[in-house]
Amino acid sequence: MTISSSLNAGVAGLSANASRLASISDNIANSSTFGYKRVQTDFHSMVISSSGDTYAAGGVRSTTMRLIDERGPLVSTSNPTDLAVRGRGMLPVASQSSVTADSGSSPQMLLTTTSSFRTDADGYLTTDSGLVLLGWPALADGTIPSYPRDTADGLEPVQVNVNQFSGDPTTRMTLGVNLPATDTESTSEGDTQELSVEYFNNLGSSENIRVEFIPTVPANGSSNEWTVILRDGALSDAIVGEYTLTFDDSRTSGGTLASVTTVSGGAYDPTTGSMIVNVAGGPIEIDLGKVGESDGITQLSDQFAPVSILKDGSQVGNMTSVEIDANGFVHAFFDTGITRTIYQIPLVDLPNPNGLVAMDQQTYLPSSESGSYFLWDAGEGPTGEIVSYAREESATDVAGELTSMIQTQRAYSSNAKVIQTVDEMLQETTNIKR
């Protein structure tokens, strides 16, 4: 009984050390694999009941665990869609086959900590191993709607149509203009000052708002009053707004707006210093400046000067590139200089990352042992941030693995020696009867 248990213990030792050698070889083989998580093999003794002075060897068994929560060092790259996670959290991905399959259901979400994504023929951000990045799509204005955080149902494959066209209509305009004070004096000829401001309609085409500044010329003195008429070129110069402006001529506030009276068009709001006029493509907010402040329209000296004309919107342009910031927002850049947010990439966090089921290509699948996952905004809660232009190296320490290999080899040889010794002892027992 005792001798045979020694034999069984030796066999168990060989099996356990063989398993450890397998994990070591896997770790060394993937020492250059981006995002690889090291496998650790632990030994656990087995105790068999003993009675009196007799002891029965129980042997050993081995268990392996992939240390998914261990992170390798980050290295910089030249690709803006090379992604890594600095800190806690994992990127949601899906296999390309599940994305292209016309099943009518959402693709199976897998998790990874780093990957190199590039656009494929259909514009999906895909790795060379066939993983597609998942994210929440943004609305047309660049905002991200409220999606469920405890399920992957809201996630979609990130599709970037490089070279697609996009325009941005004008919705706001600021008029920083100085009107000549001398034009409102009784000796003035009352010439109309004109200004044409370009805006972009809903189709990205260029249109113009023609602004006419007509001074009020009094019989005596100075009126400090102007009539402003706004004409839309897209409506054959039809009037879309008319306002009467009076200016302060006091020592402390001379040249600033004293009052704005609405004749037609959107009402002037003194709290914002602007009004909303309806052009052919829709409403545009035009900022004239607040009463008593000098950051909008002023009346000073004898020069008509458009000092600062600001507006949003742009003409139709081509998408040239995409980048992903630390908070997971996917920004599309156009050759017209505008930037749009088109997706948000969340970070997935679980109570026990080491309980994930390891799959091919450094991907992992949530399981009952990993716990319920939650989709966080990158940089919030327990999660870290997304780093672009970066990859995560393998978590394998080659020097440590080689040292473990030497220890494993010695332990394997020692267990083999135990078996050899037991065999010799059994042979001696057999030789008792001759």
- 170-312 maps to which CATH number? 2.60.98.20
Q: How much is the average pLDDT of 265-282?
A: 92
Q: Whole-angstrom Cα distance, residue 343 to residue 134?
A: 9
State pLDDT tens for residues 309-349.
998 877 777 778 899 999 999 998 887 777 889 999 999 99
Q: How much is the average pLDDT of 6-31?
A: 91
What pLDDT score does 258 carry? 93
Q: How much is the average pLDDT of 422-428?
A: 84
What pLDDT score does 102 carry? 65
Evaluate whether 415 touches 408 at the Cβ level (below 8 Å).
no
More confident residue, 405 or 336: 405
What pLDDT score does 283 carry? 93
State pLDDT tens for residues 117-174.
999 888 899 999 999 999 999 987 789 999 999 998 889 999 987 655 566 788 999 9
Predicted confidence band at 1 (pLDDT cuts at 50, 70, 90)? low
Predicted confidence band at 429 (pLDDT cuts at 50, 70, 90)? confident
Q: State whether the Cα torsion 371-376-381-387 is positive or negative.
A: positive
More confident residue, 27 or 48: 27
β-bridge mates for residue 208, sequence order:
198
More confident residue, 219 or 335: 219
- Please choose, from the candidates 18, 166, 370, the residue with its C-alpha nearest in 3D space to the C-alpha of residue 10: 18
What pLDDT score does 426 carry? 84
Provide the phi-psi class of 236: left if phi over 0, else alpha when psi is between -120 and 50, else beta: left
What pLDDT score does 107 carry? 85
Q: How much is the average pLDDT of 37-52?
A: 83
Q: Minimum mean pLDDT among 4-8, 37-41, 42-46: which range?
A: 4-8
What tokens appear for 159 in the block? 């599709």
What pLDDT score does 86 carry? 95
**pTM (2 d.p.):** 0.71
What pLDDT score does 104 carry? 63
DSSP per-residue string spanning 32-86: TSTT---EEEEEEE-----BTTB-----EEEEEEE-TT--PPEEE-S-TTEEEEE
What pLDDT score does 434 carry? 64
Average predicted confidence (pLDDT) for the chain: 89
Pairing mode, strands 172-179 and 305-311: antiparallel
What pLDDT score does 103 carry? 61
Q: Which residue has the tokens 């054959």?
A: 236
More confident residue, 53 or 103: 53
pLDDT tops 70 at residue 52: no
Q: Is 25 helix (H, G, I), strand (E, B) or coil?
A: helix
More confident residue, 294 or 68: 68
% of the chain exceeding 90 in pLDDT: 65
What pLDDT score does 167 carry? 64
β-bridge mates for residue 93, sequence order:
110, 133
State pLDDT tens for residues 60-102.
888 999 999 999 999 999 999 999 999 999 999 999 988 887 6
In the chain, where the domains are located: 2-67+395-430, 77-164+317-392, 170-312
pLDDT tops 70 at residue 268: yes
What pLDDT score does 50 carry? 61
pLDDT tops 80 at residue 58: no
Residue 279's φ and ψ, nearest 5 degrees, are -95, -175
